[in-house]
Structures are given as C-alpha cells and as structure tokens.
Amino acid sequence: MSQFTGLTPYIEVFDMNASLAFYRDCLGFAVVFASPEVDTAEGRFSHFVRLRRGGAHLMLNTAYDSNERPPTRSEPRWTACGHTHFYINCDDLAGLHAEVLARGLALPPPSLTRYGYLAFSALDPDGYRITFHQQK
C-alpha cells in the first residue's frame, strides 16, 4: 500500500507581502519557489509562493488578480479563515518560541494542552491559526 510522505496546505492570502513578512520573516520559512513578481496598483509581489521550513510546507496564492484586490478584507471569505487551523510538530518548541520572539512576534509562552503537548499559537495576517506543538 502506498504511504503518504507529506502534506502541503494551499491557502489564499489577501496581501502576499504581509503574508511573506509573517511566514518568512517571523516564522522562518524559506521561499522555495515564487512566480515572477508583478507590478500592480497593490504593489510589487508574486501571486504564488511555496514555502518550507524543515518538513513543513505551505503554498500561498493571492486571492485576487492584479489590480482587483479591494482596499480592505470585507468579504465573507475572510471570516472563514478563522476556522482553519494548522498544527506544526516541533522538536524544540522552547527554542522556536525564543526564535519567533527575537524575530518580533509577541506571543504567549508555550503551555500544556488538553491532549498532552506543549504548544503556542499565532494568527497570520488573514486569521489562519498556526499552532506549534511538541509532545511532552
């Protein structure tokens, strides 16, 4: 029987530059692929970016075509982002927490979950919840 070897979530983002600032600059993901940058009324950015940190992969795609993004996140679609939750397993949660704090993200310290893991969470610019956890 074939085994799964990974999972790469694909999410739409409102502002690619804000999302990259969060995932790349605050959480330490590396860009492994990006579509060519475009100049638009919204600024200069890639419409599609694939990120990786260790075994965690993520694909980001802009929710709007060039010059079509509204000025604010007013559509109902952005409310649904709060229902999406990513869990990322870590081998050094305390070290990751210190790293993320040093990168400028203010987060509460890791705490014990009801399921027996140490964990801390962050919200990305679109409201997706990212929880980093490590088995205690």
**Domain residues of the chain, as ranges?**
10-64+82-135
Determine the pLDDT at residue 74. Answer: 83
Determine the pLDDT at residue 80. Answer: 80
Measured in whole angstroms, the distance separating CA 85 from the mean position of its chain's CA atoms is 10
Q: Which two tokens stand for residue 22?
A: 């969060």
For the chain, the 3-state helix, strand and coil shares in percent, each to the nearest 5, are 20, 40, 40
Provide the whole-model pTM.
Answer: 0.93
Confidence of residue 54 (pLDDT cuts 50, 70, 90): very high
Whether domain 10-64+82-135 has CATH 3.90.230.10: the reply is no
The whole-number average pLDDT for the span 96-119 is 95
Instruction: Please say if the pLDDT value at position 79 is more than 90.
Output: no
Task: For residue range 9-50, list pLDDT tens digits in order.
Answer: 999 999 999 999 999 999 999 999 999 999 999 999 999 999
